[in-house]
A and B are shown apart, each in its own frame.
Chain A
Amino acid sequence: MLFREMMQEGERLSRQMDQLFRSGYNFGGFPRFRSASLPGLSVRTYPLINIRDEGEAYKVEVLAPGVNPDSLNITANRDSLTISGERSAPEGALPEQLNRAERSAGKFSRSFSLPTVVDVNRIEAEYKNGLLQVHVPKAEEARPRSIAVAITN
């Protein structure tokens, strides 16, 4: 009985810790890298993204170091964007030679939706120094419009 209670308590704690770390990069008011020492968590959130609204377009910044540029793939559909690619493991390193392995390797894919419909045909992307910058223009009907106010007396 006691044993089961302890197990439940442990499980609850680990779930809470999990939630804390998953949402935790922003406490303290400064964005943080999620810890690489928590198995799975860092892998699940690769790559990290920033999204900015520039009025006419969205700017998506993707932190993706060490990705083979040929493997990068961006697909867009109405208001959603998927970024996928592959990060290769260090070449020529045998498992027994590794002293430290904090950088994960493998295929990744991340999808997210944007607040409005976008112009799928005019998306542009550039990969430089491990940063992927994606310029996503909003669809014509979603762009901000200034409305003239008519004055009548």
Chain B
Amino acid sequence: MVKNCAESTVPVAANAERASEREFYFSPRVDIYESEEGLTVLADVPGVTPEDLSIKVENGVLSLHAKASHKNEVRDASYLWREFGHASFCRQFQLPEEVDPENIKAELKNGVLTLFLPRAESVKPRLIEVKVS
């Protein structure tokens, strides 16, 4: 759906950045899964190159933003059939817990962004030993 960037957010903090200019955004479809090590986010961003992509984690909010690749866009009457257009992608998520910002890994392949957000050391499950005295 076409939405304003900030409005497309899933529960997001009030201090989240608002899109300054009126622009159309697509909300990329995502898969998110969770393991003991952290969260993996997969997002469909077809037509996006690594240079167009910006990923930000700020105050526990993950922001994905990808600039539209207007080089593919042809604005004339030559379209016989049209199902999609080229617009920017934008989506934000409130992260459930602390992530380790130093070790975030991002990979872009075949138009799919794979993002691995490792859990911060402080929130990893810990085994507590019981001392017997």
Residues of A within 8 A of B (CB): 25-26, 28, 30-33, 35-36, 45, 48-54, 58, 61, 63-69, 90, 93-94, 97-103, 112, 115, 127, 129-131
Bin the interface of chain B by size: 35 or more
Interface CB pairs A-B, < 8 A, 24: A25-B84, A31-B83, A51-B79, A51-B81, A52-B80, A53-B78, A61-B72, A63-B84, A64-B111, A65-B110, A65-B112, A90-B31, A90-B40, A90-B42, A93-B31, A93-B33, A94-B33, A98-B31, A99-B39, A103-B30, A112-B81, A129-B48, A130-B45, A130-B46
CB distance from A126 to the nearest CB of B (A): 12
Q: Which of A35, A54, A130 contacts B44 (CB 8 A)?
A: A130
Q: Which of B44, B83, B111 contacts A49 (CB 8 A)?
A: B83
CB distance A130 to B47 under 8 Å?
A: yes
Q: Mark B69-98, 1 if CB is under 8 A from A, else 0.
A: 000101000111111110000000000000
CB distance B80 to A69 under 8 Å?
A: no
Task: Determine the chain B residues whose CB is within 8 A of the CB of A28 once the complex forms.
Answer: 2
A64 and B44 CA atoms in complex are apart in Å by 9
Q: Mark B105-133, 1 if CB is under 8 A from A, else 0.
A: 00010111000000000000000000000
Contacts A65-B112, A129-B48 known; A100 to B32 CB distance under 8 Å? yes
Does B58 reach chain A (CB closer than 8 Å)? no
A127 and B80 CA atoms in complex are apart in Å by 21
A130 and B111 CA atoms in complex are apart in Å by 4
A68 and B85 CA atoms in complex are apart in Å by 23
Apart from A28-B2, A63-B46, A131-B46: 14 A-B pairs, beta carbons within 8 A:
A26-B82, A30-B2, A31-B83, A32-B1, A53-B78, A53-B80, A65-B45, A65-B112, A66-B111, A90-B33, A90-B42, A100-B30, A101-B31, A130-B111
